[in-house]
Amino acid sequence: MSETPVRTTATPSTEVTDRTVLTVEHVSKDFPIRGGLWSRGRGTVHAVDDVTFTLDKGETLGVVGESGSGKTTLGRVIVRAHEPTSGKVQIRDHNGRMVDVTAAGASELKDARRSFHMIFQDPYSSLNPRMTVEEIVGEPLVNNLGLKGAELRKRVVETLELVGLGAQHLSRYPNAFSGGQRQRIGIARSLACRPSLIVCDEAVSALDVSIQAQILNLLKDLQRDLDLSYLFITHDLAVVEHLAHRTAVMYVGQVVETGRTEDMFGRPRHPYTEALLSAAPVPEEHRTRPTIVLKGEVANPAAPPSGCYFHPRCPYAQDVCSREAPALREVAPGHFAACHFADVLQLAGPTAPPPSPPEAALIEQASSAAAVAPVDDDAAAQE
């Protein structure tokens, strides 16, 4: 097993302003691997590895990556469905206070839960089939706000109306609804306590494309009307482009690139992002670059490669990449990437014109420079 490389991070700022809704600071989550006769520990999976970002009121951050990138675990740590191994998550509560949900005790956490909610991928299994719509949407109002009787019903109906349903649906069970309607019920449940933050985990992936568009438009309308913040976890770059103001790309538990979505789609700075974008669905007549087929599989988070975790699959890898882990550093205003060659690679989205001058020459120059002074030394010096 290779040693886990230490990555020096010059991560995005976690400064809290009046509009900050969520801060995630150096969050990691490890899972022990158990096996054998006495279920002894056999290693550790680093599912989330030193992730830092913030999210503002009314903003959407898309979190993308292949299966196994750690994005779902990150979402679950944020809503404290998993305890983090290290790091801190703060969420603004209904009183306007930033609450450290990673350290909150049971009663503080229960109170803070009014302010955030998670929507899951599968609208079929995420709703209890034995509960009516009134019970499903009303449950958080009973548990978190203690509502009952006419007041409870009034709030449930108001919430259903926000998602295009109404009082006529109160007594029905989930199996009476289509996939899109079930996801509307799930969204209504998440909105019941009027949270400031919703974590959407592949919230439209199980739906047909036409229904996906309706749900995405609904989420956009709700964001505009209620000033909601979304952390939108997905493998689908088209969804991110449609919805997210900023995007974070994860690879083997780490954020390898983050910035404004239009900047990243216009000029990605990490080869993994470029490969993901090259596979995004665009009309063939607009495609100027072929899909980049990455060799090999996603690295094993229990035994990641040395240096840059992406180096065994990276078409631009140089010697330094297997030796030194690149820092996540700012390569343009508000745009961070963890690649030794982020400043010189002329990467592009699937519809951008081919780069000039040729990338190979630039990489060669960068490689000689890195041999003298590795790029992440700058970031290390700043820390």
Phi and psi, residue 278, nearest 5°: -65, -20
Task: In angstroms, give the least distance from the CB of 314 to ligand SF4.
Answer: 3
Range in contact with ligand SF4 (rule: CB under 6 A) among 44-52, 227-235, 288-296, 311-319:
311-319
Q: Does residue 222 bind ligand SF4 (CB under 6 A)?
A: no
Beta carbon nearer to ligand SF4, 177 or 341: 341
24 bridge partner residues: 53, 89
Beta carbon nearer to ligand SF4, 197 or 308: 308
Distances (CA, A) of 48 to 81, 85, 145, 152, 226: 14, 9, 33, 39, 30
Cα–Cα distance measured from residue 70 to residue 82, given in angstroms and rounded to the nearest whole number: 12
Amino acid type, 133: V
Beta carbon nearer to ligand SF4, 230 or 310: 310
- Would you call the peptide bond into 281 cis, given omega within 30 degrees of 0 as the criterion? no
Reported residue count of the chain is 383
Residues 6+ apart with CB under 8 A from 152: 138, 141, 142
Nearest partner of 300 among 137, 89, 66, judged by Cα: 66
Please select the residue that binds ligand SF4; options are 317, 327, 331, 379, rule is CB under 6 A.
317
Angle between helices 179-191 and 209-226 (to 10 degrees): 20
What is the size of the binding site for ligand SF4 (CB under 6 A)? 13
Beta carbon nearer to ligand SF4, 101 or 363: 363
Find the binding residues for ligand SF4 in span 10-69 (CB under 6 A): none
Nearest partner of 321 among 267, 367, 252, judged by Cα: 367
DSSP-derived pairing of the beta strands 254-260 and 197-201: unpaired
DSSP-derived pairing of the beta strands 197-201 and 116-119: parallel
Please select the residue that binds ligand SF4; options are 339, 344, 370, 379, rule is CB under 6 A.
339
Q: Does residue 316 bind ligand SF4 (CB under 6 A)?
A: yes
Please select the residue that binds ligand SF4; options are 53, 177, 230, 341, rule is CB under 6 A.
341
Beta carbon nearer to ligand SF4, 203 or 339: 339
Please select the residue that binds ligand SF4; options are 255, 308, 344, 347, rule is CB under 6 A.
308
User: What is the 8-class DSSP label of residue 354?
Assistant: P
Range in contact with ligand SF4 (rule: CB under 6 A) among 109-117, 201-209, 216-224, 337-345:
337-345
Please select the residue that binds ligand SF4; options are 29, 92, 114, 311, rule is CB under 6 A.
311
Range in contact with ligand SF4 (rule: CB under 6 A) among 59-67, 158-166, 183-191, 307-315:
307-315
Q: Does residue 340 bind ligand SF4 (CB under 6 A)?
A: yes
User: What is the 8-class DSSP label of residue 144?
Assistant: I
Q: Where does this chain bind ligand SF4 (CB under 6 A)? A: 270-271, 308, 310-311, 314, 316-317, 321, 326, 339-341
